[in-house]
Structures are given as C-alpha cells and as structure tokens.
Amino acid sequence: MSGHAEVGPVGEMPPEQVVAAARLVREGRMISLAAPRFPGMPLFPGHPPFQVLNYRTPRGIRVTGAQPWGPVNDARLGYMAEYVMATSHSGAHMDALAHMTVDDDMHWYGGGRADEHLTDFGPVHGDASKMPAFFARGVLVDVPAYRGMDCLPKGSPVDSREIAAICAAQHVEVRPWDVVLIRTGYMGLWPDAERMAAHQTPGPDISAARWLLDRGVIAAGSDTETFEVQPAPDPGPTGNPQPVHTALLIERGVYIMESLDLEELARQKVHEFLFVALPVKIRGATGSMVDPVAVV
C-alpha cells in the first residue's frame, strides 16, 4: 500500500472494504469513543490549555444594545456564541500526517519539509484539510483485561507478542485496512489528573508498531495522550523519543489517534466493530478533534 502523498494508505482503501465494514453492523448500537472536553481538562503538557469563552450572550446583547438582526426585535430574541480556543490535539483526536517531523530537514510523510511547506499559518502539505473520513473495520485490543487489571502501570510497554496473544485470546484477527485501538485503562481514571499522572504513559512499543504495519492497518489509536509507551524503551541509534510515531505517522502515513475513551467498548466486550471518525478539515491544522463511534 503505497498511499497518496498527502493522505496516506487509507487513500487507496478499496470500496469493497467499506462495504465489508458496513456489514459488521448487526444491532445498530453506537458506542462513543470520546469523553467531553472542558476548560482545564487534562492534556499532554506540551499543548495549550482548552478554553471556551463567551463571545455573545443574551444579556450582553441587551446591555450593549447590539442589533445583530437589525432594529426590529420585539420578541427579545437572544443567542449565545463562543470562542473555542484549543489545540486540535485536545481530548480524543487524530494526528494529521504533518503533525510530526524528524531529522535536520524537519521532514514529514509524503515529502513534506519545513523549509518548503511550513507557513506562518501552519503546514500546507499533509495538514488536517487533507484528512479523509474513516469508515472501516475496527479492532479493540484490551490489554488490561488480558493482564487481569484495571489499568496498566506507569510506562508499561505493550509489545508485538502480547498484542498477538491478546488477539488470539479475543478470537479476533487484525487485517489490512483495519483500525486498531489499544486499551490501557488510562481513560478509566479520567479526568482525575493526579491518578492519571500515576499511570503515565503505557502503550505500544516499536515492535508493536512494526506488527501493525506488517498487517496493513490504516490507523491505530489508544486511550493515552501519547499513544506509544513513554519513555521509549528502545529509542534506537538516533535517540528517538517517539519511535512509534516516527514508524507509523512519518514513515508510513498510518494515522494515530490519542485519548480515545475505550472503557464502554471494553465493558461490553466488543472486540470487532464498524469504526467511524470524521476529521474536521481545517487548513494548516496538524490534527483534528474527533468524536468517533463504534457501531455494532
């Protein structure tokens, strides 16, 4: 799967795979994979805080004498509108292909380079405006259920052998064009920042990333802010702090999702489902908040 330069392998997903994913729906139940966002919510420490600020309110309209509809308003009509000021990586979200760079030339997937493609208003190659819709077979890999615990310990790696064993135990196979979601139990602590900090950050290691690539997945996600285990157990010869992001997102164009709420999916023991996520197409953004659903 060579993929399109600004879309990744998902851009070559055959139509029959979409039809096959739709056939996974048997009951018509939808399970949300996102928690609500709110000011002060826990975020990866490198991101700006999430804020919702009033711009217009019914009282403000009256006090200022504003006339948004003109002078006639005997009905005393009012409305509310707000600014949402946040990184696109707030809560459940998907990284655009231009999110991460590597090496001295600061390159990213599909030939993107900072000197050529990064403007004052964000990247123009592989940005969020190019992100496709996802309508695919989804697979849950429930690691804490397999280990017999509620949440993985701080910095606990999930390797390829464990993922393969979990899939066998769950009687589910990872196939080309799949979206694989790896549960660590971290969102079961949401939004208690102190408890979450005590469990930062378990997740897949580089062997797990290679296992996913070998099976031809188009996206992978987890319930932590970093997807991959941190600190990296094997930063490799270049001292890369995020080798999994590099292998999936930068080198192969496989999308990464973070901070997904996988708790209800795990409670219902749903391991195979229709996965639906619709990124918001914002030019220059490096990701998109998403509220994905699993449909069974």
In this prediction, residue 5 carries a pLDDT of 84
pTM here is 0.96
Q: Nearest-CA neighbor of 137 among 98, 187, 179?
A: 179
Q: Which amino acid would we find at residue 104?
A: D
Q: Nearest-CA neighbor of 200 among 227, 220, 181?
A: 227
Query: CATH 3.50.30.50 occupies which residues in the chain?
Result: 9-36+89-295
The answer to whether residues 138 and 178 touch, using CB atoms and an 8 Å cutoff, is yes
List CB contacts of 114: < 8 A, sequence separation 6 or more.
101, 105, 106, 107
In this prediction, residue 214 carries a pLDDT of 98
CATH topology of domain 9-36+89-295: Glucose Oxidase; domain 1 (3.50.30)
- How far apart, in Å, are the Cα atoms of 187 and each of 107, 141, 258, 266, 267? 32, 15, 11, 11, 13
Question: How many helical (H) and strand (E) elements, i.e. helices and strands, does the chain have?
Answer: 10, 17
In this prediction, residue 4 carries a pLDDT of 78
- How does pLDDT run along the chain (296 residues), one tens digit per residue? 444 789 999 999 999 999 999 999 999 999 999 999 999 999 999 999 999 999 999 999 999 999 999 999 999 999 999 999 999 999 999 999 999 999 999 999 999 999 999 999 999 999 999 999 999 999 999 999 999 999 999 999 999 999 999 999 999 999 999 999 999 999 999 999 999 999 999 999 999 999 999 999 999 999 999 999 999 999 999 999 999 999 999 999 999 999 999 999 999 999 999 999 999 999 999 999 999 999 99
In this prediction, residue 144 carries a pLDDT of 98
Number of CB atoms found within 10 A of residue 48's CB: 11
Q: Report residue 44 as tokens.
A: 């990866």
In this prediction, residue 67 carries a pLDDT of 95
- How far apart, in Å, are the Cα atoms of 148 and each of 84, 115, 152, 162, 247? 40, 49, 10, 13, 30
